[in-house]
Amino acid sequence: MSGKVVRELIHSDKAPKAVGAYSQAVRANDTLYISGSLGLIPETGEMVTGGVEAECRQALTNMGHVLEAAGGTFNNVVKVTVLLADINDFAVMNNVYKEFFTKNYPARAAYQVANLPKSGRIEIEAIAVLGEIEEKQESPNRKRKHHI
């Protein structure tokens, strides 16, 4: 028998309001699923000016507020998906990304997409595991086991 899953909708007034049929984030037990974050200014809902660098910084700032509302930080993030209007902006995104994720980087995928809401240049979504973090580094000399 499995136990009940506790599902909680997470909202931060410091991040842009959801403009559709979605929540800023949903917590299922200790896993937090964060909706795609754009470079929107929370107070106005308008896109920040300054191109992909400014949009990325604002999107991650918004995501940080949602993480905080759930009791987490960027250290709790285990998976990030980045959607770019132009994959050639990857290096710019990566430099800003490293301002927010400074060590023990989460798994990540980045894709170029045909279009983003509000003519955005970048959208970022994430999955986090909430609770106390215990970092365990893999030794560079450790032999990896492969199971089939």
CATH number, residue 116: 3.30.1330.40
Residue 11: other Cβ atoms inside 10 A: 14
What sections of 41-101 are H helices per DSSP?
51-69, 90-100
User: Does residue 59 lie in a domain region?
Assistant: yes
pLDDT of residue 1 exceeding 70, the answer is no
Indicate the average pLDDT of the chain: 93
pLDDT of residue 43 exceeding 60, the answer is yes
Of 63, 7, 72, 11, the residue nearest 40 (C-alpha): 63
User: Does residue 98 lie in a domain region?
Assistant: yes
User: Does residue 12 lie in a domain region?
Assistant: yes
Q: How many residues does the chain have?
A: 148
From CA 73, how far away is CA 70, in angstroms rounded?
9
What domain range is 25 assigned to? 7-129
Mean pLDDT to the nearest integer, 110-137: 93
User: Does residue 140 lie in a domain region?
Assistant: no
Q: Write the pLDDT tens digit of every residue in 47-98.
A: 999 999 999 999 999 999 999 999 999 999 999 999 999 999 999 999 999 9
Which pLDDT score is estimated for 134? Answer: 81
Of 69, 68, 45, 70, the residue nearest 58 (C-alpha): 45
Which pLDDT score is estimated for 135? Answer: 77
From CA 131, how far away is CA 96, in angstroms rounded?
26
Predicted model pTM: 0.89
Mean pLDDT to the nearest integer, 88-109: 97
From CA 117, how far away is CA 9, in angstroms rounded?
22
pLDDT of residue 144 exceeding 80, the answer is no
